[in-house]
Amino acid sequence: DAGVIQSPRHEVTEMGQEVTLRCKPISGHNSLFWYRQTMMRGLELLIYFNNNVPIDDSGMPEDRFSAKMPNASFSTLKIQPSEPRDSAVYFCASSPTAARAEAFFGQGTRLTVV
Amino acid sequence: GENVEQHPSTLSVQEGDSAVIKCTYSDSASNYFPWYKQELGKRPQLIIDIRSNVGEKKDQRIAVTLNKTAKHFSLHITETQPEDSAVYFCAASSDSWGKLQFGAGTQVVVTP
């Protein structure tokens, strides 16, 4: 398996624009997590899904953030409108089952909002 | 919710010496404790984990210990090498869905 695949790897956008980050989890994994990493706040869990259903989105910072998982092999994280303080590395991770919580991370998307 | 504290924030060791990183957690229901290594510009990668029914686990030069009573767990790296230089994160999970709460990370620098 190629592991968790994220796209794009880098994104530079202007403030106010819509940004969509994409993730393909490892095939057969039931749980999917979106994290944001910054120097100031470390690794923050934004939202997670189990069997494509959102379980907890309490980490989503504002209504500008939304996430979907239309099927077992694809998820998106959208920011609309984007702001400079959204600049961070966004990681997607997946794990086999809730009982086996080993999370495997994608390469991340480095987002810069100017 | 779960709160994980990690110390120290930075650790400088001489090549060949041992490194120890300590974490404490707040939720007594936590039952899974992984450690991740993140090299500069790369993704966090799982290096070792331990479950609450085990007190110690070892994999070559790395080992993890867990004290459930005190609610703390530690990562031990022996015979450190320059390639061990990275940021190390501990995490804890008490969630039935596998949600992880991460510590703030420890920057380890191994000097030759």
Q: Is the pLDDT of residue B25 over 70?
A: yes
Between residues A100 and B5, which one has the greater pLDDT? B5
Residue pair B66/B73 in contact (Cβ under 8 Å)? The answer is yes
Flag if B98 and A105 touch (Cβ within 8 Å).
Answer: no
pLDDT for res A98? 65
Choose the mutation target among A43, A53, A60, A104 for the interface with B, i.e. most B CBs under 10 Å: A43
Q: Classify residue A16 by burial, with Cβ atoms within 10 Å: 0-12, 13-18, 19+.
A: exposed
Which A residues, 8 through 47, put their C-beta within 8 Å of a C-beta on chain B? 31, 33, 42-43, 45
pLDDT for res B90? 97
Q: What is the pLDDT of residues A5-41, one digit of tens each?
A: 999 999 999 999 999 999 999 999 999 999 999 999 8
pLDDT for res B61? 97
pLDDT for res B4? 96
pLDDT for res A105? 96
Strands (E) located in chain B? 4-7, 10-14, 19-25, 32-38, 45-51, 56-59, 62-67, 72-77, 86-92, 101-102, 106-111
Confidence category of residue B94, pLDDT binned at 50, 70, 90: confident
Partners of A38 in beta bridges: A42
The alpha carbon of residue A101 is apart from the nearest alpha carbon of chain B, in Å, by: 5
The token pair at B64 is 């993890």
Residues 6+ apart with CB under 8 A from B84: B19, B77, B108, B110
Q: What is the pLDDT of residues B30-78, one digit of tens each?
A: 999 999 999 999 999 999 999 888 889 999 999 999 999 999 999 999 9
The token pair at B100 is 């992880």
User: Could you tell me which chain B residue has the CA closest to the CA of A100?
Assistant: B98
Look up residue A20 and give its amino acid.
T
Q: What is the pLDDT of residues A58-105, one digit of tens each?
A: 999 889 999 999 999 999 999 999 999 999 999 999 998 766 678 999
